[in-house]
Amino acid sequence: MLKQSDNERISAMREGGKILARVREEIVRTIQPGVSFEELEQTAQLWLKKLRAEPSFPTVEGYQWATCITKNEGCCHGIPKNGVVNNGDIMTIDTGALYKGYHTDTSITVCAGTCTKEVLRFLEVGRQALKAAIARVLPGNTIYVVSQAMQDVIEKAGYRSVYQLTGHGIGKTLHMLPNIPCYADERSKKDIIQEGQTLAIEPMYAWGNPTLALGKDGWTYETVDKSLTGMFEHTVVAWNDGPEVLTDSPLEKGQGI
């Protein structure tokens, strides 16, 4: 049986997740060729404020923005400035909300303008990897099982799972244990999912070499071979009767996550 504090945490995160899903929707609507990274950041800031939440990411030491924005070979943690969306770019948006003392986290990769069928397939694989991983977020399962599910989908499609970065537990702080690798790491067999546990599940993957290098800005990770990357993330609660996705959005079912 969950403690009262657990119920309060999950209730707050459920509300925060709905807010964050709306923020993600509005950012995705803003993405089009010619839009600057700063405009996408402003959209996130505007909607977080409008919905009475705070951005999570400034709780990370040294980071001051509401979003991380990258494109194409940029996998994650990109500073939302000095960039412009071009036709055919694949854009990765990562954002988080702090609401009633608890964090939620989400990310999505989308095509800006016109993309090839091959690129659209690449993005669909990421969505399916996230779906497969979430289905394994059940009490008693290990994190290994969750990671293996996303890796299987990604690698069977011919792509490669990122191995240097992970998903994570989430709640009072943005990044908590356990780490959730994007590949089946034997070390995660010891991490057993508990009922009511809240996790940020985020498959990260590359078209080519999944090895990432840190950019000159000290934040952005890019593939060393400049191959395309994707990242999809939801905040999820583990229940005995099945996982609950806190950052789900009915409006994005057709094209998002």
pTM, two decimal places: 0.95
User: What is the reported pLDDT for 123?
Assistant: 98
- Across the range 205-223, mean pLDDT stands at 97
Domains in the chain with CATH codes? 4-247 (3.90.230.10)
pLDDT band at residue 249 under the 50/70/90 scheme: confident
Q: Which of 48-52, 103-107, 247-251 has the lowest average pLDDT?
A: 247-251
Q: Would you say residue 12 has pLDDT above 90?
A: yes
CA angle 9, 10, 16 (to 5 degrees): 90
For residue 78 the two structure tokens come to 């990109």
Backbone dihedral angles phi then psi of residue 180, each to the nearest 5 degrees: -125, 90
Q: For residue 5, what pLDDT band results from cuts at 50, 70 and 90?
A: confident
- Tell me the average pLDDT across 173-192: 98
Report, as an integer, the average pLDDT of 204-233.
98
Question: Would the pLDDT of 254 be above 50?
Answer: no
Q: What is the pLDDT of residue 208?
A: 98
Asked if the model's pLDDT at residue 242 lies above 50, the reply is: yes
The tens digit of pLDDT for each residue in 132-164 reads: 999 999 999 999 999 999 999 999 999 999 999
- pLDDT tens across 20-57, in order? 999 999 999 999 999 999 999 999 999 999 999 999 99
Per-residue pLDDT, 109: 98
Q: Average pLDDT, stretch 62-68? A: 98
Cβ pair 161, 146 in contact under 8 A: no
Does pLDDT of 252 surpass 70? no
Q: What is the DSSP string of the chain?
A: ---HHHHHHHHHHHHHHHHHHHHHHHHHHH--TT-BHHHHHHHHHHHHHHTT-EESGGGSTT---SEEEEETTEEE---SSS-B--TT-EEEEEEEEEETTEEEEEEEEEE-S---HHHHHHHHHHHHHHHHHHHT--TT-BHHHHHHHHHHHHHHTT-EE--S-EEEE-SSSSSEEEEEESS--GGGGG-B--TT-EEEE--EEESS---EEE-TTSS-EEETT---EEE-BEEEE--TT--EETT--GGGTTT--
- Amino acid at the residue 90: I
Before 139, cis peptide (omega within 30)?
A: no
Please report the pLDDT score of residue 3 as a whole number: 82
Q: Please, are residues 240 and 139 in contact by the beta-carbon 8 Å criterion?
A: yes
